Structure 1
Amino acid sequence: MIDALTLDQLRVFAAVADTGSFRAAARRLSRVQSAVSHAIANMEAQLGVPLFDRSGHRPVMTPQGQALLSNARDILLRVDALRARAQGLGEGVELELSLAVDTLFPIAHAGAALKRMRAAYPSVAIRVSTLPLGGPVQALLAGTHTLGILAGEHFRHPRIAVEALGAVQMVAVVGAGHPLADAARTSGALAEPDLADHLQIVQSDPSPLSEGRDFAVLSPQTCRVSGQDTKHALILAGLGWGRLPLWQVERDLAEGRLLRVPVASLGRDSQIATETYLAHRIDQPLGPAARALAAALRDTAQP
């Protein structure tokens, strides 16, 4: 009967699917191989369908097993989330709270939220990392940080819960002395092919999550940097053009050190909105200070 299914059977099923063999799943679960085989056989009997074809050297998942695996993973994730939430509600105040912030997010907003949290929990130590692209997600998956602030739509993971905070305005800019700035002053508008002859300053990803992918890279000539401050400084120096958060360059634009790149495909007035998200692992409990920081971030982050 399906009602007789256990969470343990679902975890064994997922472990065999992940590792590709009963023996490897047994090692992962610290069990003997016969116990893994027995759990799968019982699950198959209760479901009434074969999950693995055992006729070869290694078990091969059947079409029925493939169809049911996503349901099994979904159940396990929901149970982990329930357990984490219950644990968080029952725990005391954390000794330390760690936050991984995307480099595009205005750090002043994070600082205001942390200040508010500290007013309620002054004994909690704070650790803040600023990381680009997939860095905050990787930090959450690795368990090194409790909360994360993500930017953009490119990085999602089933173990990471996200909720929108607000939008960051990204603007394509170039140094006032760069040839693109001179061309813009002369013609008033440029086309995307005009960018191909000039270096684009691009943020590199410290995580493996974007391997093989580029985001908003339009020029065949690129200079990849490890941080937004470096990107900002190189664009100011006239090395190339690139997108930066408006909050970071607003003063440079107002005082003429930077100019918007007038290319229609880069957005209206060379500007686009990037959504930011508060994130945490669904299987890791949030203690009182983390919940207070999350509430403060929701209040202080503005579009």
Structure 2
Amino acid sequence: MLDALTLDQMRTFVAIADSGSFRAAAQSLSRVQSGVSVAIANLEAQLGVELFDRSGHRPVLTRQGQMLLGSARDILLRVDVLRAKARGFAAGVETELGIAVDTLYPLQKVGTAISQMRDSFPSVSVRVQVEPLGGPLEALRQKSCALAVMVGEDFRDPRIKFDALTSIIQVAVVAAEHPLAKDKGARALEALDLADHLQIVLTDPSQISAGRDFGVLSPQTCRVNTQDAKYNLILGGLGWGRLPLWLVERDLEQGRLVRLNVSALGRNGEVAAQAYVAHRLDETMGPAARHLADALISLNSGGT
């Protein structure tokens, strides 16, 4: 009977699908392999379908198993969210609050929001980590932070809730003495125009975007692990790249950097991406974390 289904059976089902074997699932669940096998056999009997084809070296999801896996994940997520909300009713003030911030987002705003939070919760210690690309999402997944500020639509997870903050504008720039600067105000640059020039590219510290590049046009690249390195290498004339407008606005005004009209990177080499404050749905948000998230949203309510 369907009423006899248990959350343990569904967690076991998902663990096998994710890990690829009964043995690995047993290890991840801290159980013996025979217990995992019995749980899946009982689940299959109650559902009346075979979830895994066990004829090979490793269990493979059947067509029915593939169709039911999404439903099992959804049920488990809803239960975890319910538990997190229940824990939140009795949650006390955090002793430490971690936040991961995308390098594209102005850290000054984060500092202002933290100051506002600490006015109400002065005893809370704060830990800030600044990461590019998939770094903030990985920090949330690994539960090394309670909040993250993320930019763009490339990194998503059904366990993460996103609240919009503001738009972040990125522009293609190069040092004033760089050969590409001669094309300032001229026709839009194409990929061929960039082929002989080094592009400074930020790398992802996580494996979330492994094998993917974002906005890479030049066949020649210099890959760096921090935005500060990218900014200074571009400013030093090594190559060109995209940087957030808030970071380079003064350099552009004072002539140290010039904008490049790279048509493949948006109109006039400019692209806008949405910034979000994010947190896990299946983890309790403490009062300080909630206050900080609200402060970030309030600071951005007027836009930038």
Q: Same fold (TM over 0.5)?
A: yes
Which deviations, in whole Å up to 9, do the C-alpha atoms of 1:196-238 show, x marking residues without a partner? 1211111111111121111100011111111111111111111
Map of 2:94 onto structure 1? 94
Superposition deviation, residue 58 in structure 1:
4.6
Superposition deviation, residue 152 in structure 1:
1.4
Q: Secondary structure at the match of 2:173?
A: strand
Higher helix share: 1
Q: Give the Cα–Cα distance (whole angstroms) in 2 for the partners of residues 48 and 262 of structure 1.
A: 61
Q: Secondary structure at the match of 2:237?
A: coil
Map of 2:159 onto structure 1? 159
Structure 2 CA distance for partners of 1:180 and 1:12, relative to 1, 3 Å: same
Q: Give the Cα–Cα distance (whole angstroms) in 1 for the partners of residues 223 and 54 of structure 2.
A: 49
Q: Give the Cα–Cα distance (whole angstroms) in 2 for the partners of residues 229 and 55 of structure 1.
A: 53
Amino acid at match of 1:233: N
Map of 1:122 onto structure 2? 122
Structure 2 CA distance for partners of 1:239 and 1:55, relative to 1, 3 Å: closer
Amino acid at match of 2:68: L
Q: Give the Cα–Cα distance (whole angstroms) in 2 for the partners of residues 230 and 55 of structure 1.
A: 52
Map of 2:221 onto structure 1? 222
Q: Secondary structure at the match of 2:161?
A: strand
TM-score normalised to structure 2 length: 0.93
Superposition deviation, residue 56 in structure 1:
5.0
Q: Secondary structure at the match of 1:208?
A: coil
Could you tell me which runs of 5 or more consecutive residues in structure 1 were left unpaired when the two chains were aligned: none
Which deviations, in whole Å up to 9, do the C-alpha atoms of 1:264-300 show, x marking residues without a partner? 3332232110111111222221101001111111111
Q: Give the Cα–Cα distance (whole angstroms) in 1 for the partners of residues 250 and 49 of structure 2.
A: 65
Q: Give the Cα–Cα distance (whole angstroms) in 2 for the partners of residues 33 and 179 of structure 1.
A: 64
Amino acid at match of 1:296: A
Map of 1:236 onto structure 2? 235
Q: Secondary structure at the match of 1:272?
A: strand
TM-score normalised to structure 1 length: 0.93
Map of 2:11 onto structure 1? 11
**Percent of residue pairs bearing the same amino acid type:** 62
Could you tell me which runs of 5 or more consecutive residues in structure 2 were left unpaired when the two chains were aligned: none
Which deviations, in whole Å up to 9, do the C-alpha atoms of 1:67-113 show, x marking residues without a partner? 11111011111211221222123210000001100010011111111
Is the 1:189–1:262 contact (alpha carbons within 8 Å) kept by the matching residues of 2?
A: yes
Q: Give the Cα–Cα distance (whole angstroms) in 2 for the partners of residues 189 and 19 of structure 1.
A: 48
Is the 2:183–2:260 contact (alpha carbons within 8 Å) kept by the matching residues of 1?
A: no
Q: Secondary structure at the match of 1:206?
A: coil
Superposition deviation, residue 148 in structure 1:
0.6
Map of 2:261 onto structure 1? 262
